[in-house]
Amino acid sequence: MIRPWYRSRLFWFGLFWQLFLVWAWGDAGAYRSVFSWGQADTAMWVGQDEGSIVVGNLRSTEFHVGDFLGCSDGLELERRPTVTERGRLVWKLPAAFRHEREKSSLGLSGTLKFQSRRLHVAWWVVVGISVAAWSGLMVWWQFRQARALKLATTPLP
């Protein structure tokens, strides 16, 4: 007999994973969370803001990046609420993918002062891919169970 799909560990681990992702998506609309690390001239960060996951970096030739970002060298975690002027939470459904690139040259010499890159991936894309992968694994698991049962019950010649 095939074990029901709701009794598999794959189903329950996947369900908890999906609930975590949906919670993280909601949290991205309510809070801006950034984990950053860097050195004197370079900083990298991973975070979530306004319904998307953000990965970025900042490089400078003229100033200490930590002073510009308001953080020291090393690791830092920042978390603050995302609110509008009226104190309401911001809930957006952003574009699936967005890439931003920014260069700045200050002064008459035209030297590059800083360069920044950011890649935004919307949470709805992450949740959708995860649900599709989990559903595919569940179908594969059921197919495998049915095939094993068929092979076990087939009489040998």
Using a pLDDT cut of 90, give the percent of the chain over it.
Answer: 17
- The pLDDT of residue 147: 87
**C-alpha to C-alpha distance for 108 and 102, rounded to whole angstroms:** 19
**C-alpha to C-alpha distance for 125 and 122, rounded to whole angstroms:** 5
Encoding tokens for residue 115? 């360069």
Does residue 93 have a pLDDT over 80?
A: no
Mean residue pLDDT across the chain: 78
- The pLDDT of residue 16: 95
Q: Tell how strand 52-60 and strand 114-122 pair up.
A: antiparallel
pTM for this predicted structure: 0.71
- The pLDDT of residue 88: 54
- The pLDDT of residue 132: 96
* Cβ-based neighbour number of residue 137 at 10 Å: 14
Bridge partners, 78 (sequence order):
34
Encoding tokens for residue 107? 């002064």
With residue 108 as reference, give the H or E element that holds it: none
Helix (DSSP H) and strand (DSSP E) numbers for the chain: 3, 6
- The pLDDT of residue 129: 95
Residue-wise pLDDT tens digits, 11-68: 999 999 999 998 888 888 778 888 877 776 777 888 887 778 888 887 776 655 555 5
- The pLDDT of residue 140: 93
As for how many domains the chain has, the answer is 1
**DSSP secondary structure code for residue 7 in this structure:** G
Give first-to-last CA distance, the chain, whole Å.
Answer: 22
Tell me the residue range of the domain where 79 lies: 5-153
Does residue 6 have a pLDDT over 60?
A: yes
